[in-house]
A and B are shown apart, each in its own frame.
Chain A
Amino acid sequence: MINRRQAPAIKDAVEFELLLKPYELFTLDNGIPVYVIRSAEQETLQLELVFPAGSWFETESLVATATNFLMKNGSSQHSALEINEMTEYYGAYLNRNAFHENATFTLHCLTKHAAALLPVLQEVILDPVFPEEELGIYTQNMKQKLAVNLQKCEFVANRHIDKYLFGEFHPYGRVSSMEAYDALQAESLRAFYKHHYTYNNCKIFLAGNLPDDIIPLLNKYFGSTQWNGENTLLRPELPILPAEEKKYRIFNDENGVQGAVRIARPFPNRYHPDFSKMLVLNTIFGGYFGSRLMSNIREEKGYTYGINSQLYNFRQASAINIHTEAGRDVCEATVAEVYKELELLQQEIIPEEELSLVRNFMIGSILGDLDGAFQVIQRWKNLILNDLDENYFYNNIRTIKTITAEELQQLAKQYYNREDFYELIVI
């Protein structure tokens, strides 16, 4: 008869050796670096081109996102429809994204189709024309989408909290608007494109099962010329103007049955020594299912379907942001409980059992995240784009494995003071 009350022995995750598989680095003829993680198990690959072309670099609102989006919607050779036809015929996905710092194009396809798809990708990156007609449709549709989103309390709350943290003129705090969409001009997009999508600003990240001739192919389509010329981009730090007032209540929908709660404060960026320590404290506080916030506010009180605390990964400055959607009647009670939990971490030392659970959980979760070539290249990309190397990764692991309860309490005393937090409820 087995004893079901006795947990099976486990290997402590702190004993796991986490290894970040090294990448292969190739350089195309024009100097573009290609970072590669190979795997032979599947018949798929992922190819990503990254440019410093995020909202950081725009001088007019929404230009970075619109440029990135519309690059795929027409070249001098083919219409948007034809470009879509050419990629979709092969069952490929060509996604584009613009973030705060970078803008990306990602191709996912079956290995056997890669050679047929590269010419299309080349056209999208090297030869977009930004047709007026496409811009008109884009603007119209994005405005409609915005109108729908503005009815959602969580969307409105996200916009406001970032504005309080960074100021509305900083790229981290700037928000979209109907007026900004209306002001978009094809000419500005073309100019933004020319300045930012240049060969010397391009980095390529490649993962999966790769055709033998992938590097010659990349050379052929992206490595042979100095496309769009050379442009050195400056990236000055921009002034952050946080709001003076700390406490906000907004009524967005008088019939709303829930409120979006946001409690947030600025925090140093990833280059600061407290950042990796805060990753651990934040996990304990609100970063996993068993966190203090979830245990109290969901599992004990049932105020919400979920509550989390996140640490922003922005480059210039980070922030701690506690966010949840809670029942309308219990929003204020939720805010009070969040502060109670913050203070508890300042006053009482974290029990060894809980700390060791979180260490194991975090290490186990990184082990799972490193499973597969696509995941590994993602890790590398985050390091490389932030001018970091594997030492940063291994230092974080060391922090998770060795940080003490005393250090965490110290950290809480420094960063978990309620007067430093912005507090917002949007109903």
Chain B
Amino acid sequence: MIHFNKFTLSNGLRVIVHEDNTTPMAVVNVLYDVGARDENPAQTGFAHLFEHLMFGGSVNIPEYDEPLQMAGGENNAYTTNDLTNYYIELPAENLETAFWLESDRMLSLAFSEKSLDVQRKVVCEEFKEHYINKPYGDVWHKMRELAYRSHPYRWMTIGKELSHIEDARLDDVKAFFFRHYRPVNAILSVAGKVTTAQVKALAEKWFGDIPAGEKYLRNLPVEPAQTESHLLEVSSKVPLDALYKTYHIYPRQDQRYYTADLISDILSGGGSSRLHQVLVKEKKLFSNIDCSHFGSLDAGLLSIEGKLIKGVKMKDAEKGIQEELDKLQQEVISERELQKVKNRVESMLAFEDMGLLNRANNLAYYELMGDAAFMNREFEHYERVTTADIHNEAQIIFSEKNSNTIHYYAGN
């Protein structure tokens, strides 16, 4: 059970406080309700590029990192398809430094041409490092485009292509900032050796006078239900054939999301999971195989991916996977197997809650979904899932017409 207090400033900034006296540290986490899904299809990668620019100095503070390091603090940020999150961890005595820094960059950035110029290059190198200069690095670009036809999940956070990043202009940056980076679109969560009264006073002092901004109303294209299977064959200079399959699942707050999550654990959560045991150990079709899902707020994808043992034919590998999916569709799993994956989730949630940073991140994330208190009820959703739910959902999720497949061949 994670305890917290919650209040809202008059400019709409939502504030969550989690007091933990056992640590000497404090975490200040600012979540902005904007991610890659909110980008213009002709300017993808912008939310993430923007995250880099948030470190290029703000209106009153030329250097973001230096004063924080001087206060013994560290920071970082991440952008997903759904949101952008910034966090600072520092000795609790120096808490106010974090408020000073975060509030100034919410007030306004410095918008320097130099910073934009450099960060464009840095992000291009990040793009190359992770998605071009790596074997199989392009596969998720291709898979998203194969699986999504309308919804902006069809591009990755890093962006669809290098040129979108290279073409970013300072005017776009300004417009993006004032549309999304306003108090009314943000959540501040503070955790650690702090008191609610102290955080209230600091929040009022530093964030209270920032203009509220306009609430961003998200109106994304809806992905129509997929009516036929999609297949893409790729040949690239990689050493091994690989197989990727995805299936549309449910939005984060749909009860069926939890069923899909447990299905992915049944298939590949650990050494005793079905795909690993049958396809890697018994049939020796794959050298590794994993099932996971996006965990995204809008309806995401459940994926199965594996590298084929040299000499195994693609159709045999695919048949191996299909047989395991058929089994889930035909036979109801045992209560014990369901209990196993529920125990796994219970344990994972407990370990996640150990870190102060995770608790601060998660409180903001659940608040974004509607209420930070959801964090304490997360496991109930899993407990509710029955063997019949797994059986029903396996039939729906793994229906042929809901599938997207990439055959990734080792070529030249």
Q: Which A residues have a C-beta under 8 Å from some C-beta of B?
A: 2, 4-5, 7-11, 13, 16, 39, 41-44, 80-81, 84-85, 88-93, 108-110, 137, 140-141, 144-145, 147-148, 150-153, 253, 255-258, 288-290, 298-305, 325-327, 356-358, 360-361, 363-365, 367-368, 371-372, 374
Contact = CB atoms under 8 A, between A and B. Distances in A.
A123 to B, nearest CB: 15
Given A11-B91, A148-B307, A357 B66 contact: yes
B344 A91 contact: yes
Contact of B125 (A137, A145, A258, A367): A258
B346 to A, nearest CB: 6
Interface residues of B, number: 80
B310 A144 contact: yes
B12 interface: no
Contact of B133 (A2, A43, A153): A153
Choose among B119, B281, B284, B356 the residue with the greatest number of A CB atoms under 10 Å from its CB: B281
A209 B94 CA distance: 30
B61 A327 contact: no
Interface string B56-72: 00011100011101111
Residue of A10, A81, A290, A356 contacting most chain B CB atoms (<10 Å) = A10
B170 to A, nearest CB: 16
Contacts of B309: 140, 144
Contact of B72 (A137, A299, A365): A365
A161 to B, nearest CB: 18
A258 B120 contact: no
Contact of A147 (B122, B237, B239, B348): B239
Contact of B344 (A5, A88, A151, A300): A88
Given A327-B125, A364-B72, 4 more contacts: A81-B281, A88-B270, A148-B240, A367-B91
A23 B71 CA distance: 29
Interface in B179-216: 205-206
Q: Chain B contact residues: over half helix, strand or loop, or mixed?
A: helix
B5 interface: no
Given A258-B128, A368-B25, A92 B347 contact: yes
Shortest beta-carbon contacts, A-B, top 4: A364-B72, A302-B121, A91-B347, A84-B271
A88 B71 contact: no
Interface of B: 22-25, 59-61, 65-67, 69-74, 89-91, 93-94, 96-97, 99-100, 103-104, 107, 117-126, 128-129, 132-136, 205-206, 237-240, 269-273, 277, 280-281, 284, 287-288, 307, 309-310, 336, 339-340, 343-348, 350-351, 353-356
Contacts of B65: 289-290
14 contacts: A7-B61, A11-B91, A84-B271, A85-B272, A85-B340, A91-B347, A93-B347, A151-B238, A298-B118, A302-B122, A360-B71, A363-B72, A367-B24, A372-B354
A404 B146 CA distance: 59
A404 B328 CA distance: 66
Given A89-B340, A304-B125, A361-B69, A145 B354 contact: no
B67 A7 contact: yes
A13 B238 CA distance: 49
A154 to B, nearest CB: 9
Contacts, number: 209
Contacts of A361: 69-70, 72-74
A108 B350 CA distance: 11
Contact of B121 (A5, A42, A108, A303): A303
Contacts of A256: 133
Contacts of A13: 71-72, 91
B69 A288 contact: yes
B240 A255 contact: no
B168 to A, nearest CB: 13
Contacts of B89: 368
A400 to B, nearest CB: 12
A145 B103 CA distance: 46
Contacts of A303: 121, 125
Nearest to A259: B133
Contacts of A363: 72
B97 A10 contact: yes
Given A8-B100, A357-B66, A371-B23, A255 B347 contact: no
B119 A302 contact: yes
A257 B307 CA distance: 24
Given A145-B287, A300-B118, A8 B72 contact: no
B125 A110 contact: no
Contacts of B94: 8, 10-11
A314 B246 CA distance: 43
Of A91, A151, A305, A361, chain B has the most CB atoms within 10 Å of the CB of A91
A305 B158 CA distance: 13
A305 to B, nearest CB: 4
Contacts of A305: 122-123, 125-126, 129
A147 B71 contact: no
Contacts of A148: 135-136, 238-240, 307
A401 to B, nearest CB: 12
Contacts of B272: 81, 84-85, 88
Instruction: Kindly name the residue among B206, B273, B284, B350 whose own CB sees the greatest number of chain A CB atoms within 10 A.
Output: B350
